[in-house]
Amino acid sequence: MNASELRAKSTAEINHEMLELLRAQFSLRMQVATQQTNKTSELGKLRKSIARAHTILRENEMKAVSK
């Protein structure tokens, strides 16, 4: 998910999206650990998406404080 797509969403929607990303990350980590998948590059993509969501949430918090 792009940062511009996340910025268009509300805080609740971003939190829900981050929860889904964290669940996907956990699932993929378990699959890699049990050697059920070879998609190790997906882990990095998920980590970056989670970090992007955290960044957008923090930006929203800082905007709310400055107003």
Q: What is the pLDDT of residues 33-47, one digit of tens each?
A: 999 988 889 999 999
Residue with tokens 């969501």: 53
Q: Find the length of the chain.
A: 67
Q: Which amino acid is at 54?
A: H
Ranges of residues in the chain whose predicted pLDDT is under 70: none
Q: Give residues with Cβ within 8 angstroms of 22, minimum separation 6.
A: 50
pTM: 0.89
pLDDT for the residue 36? 93
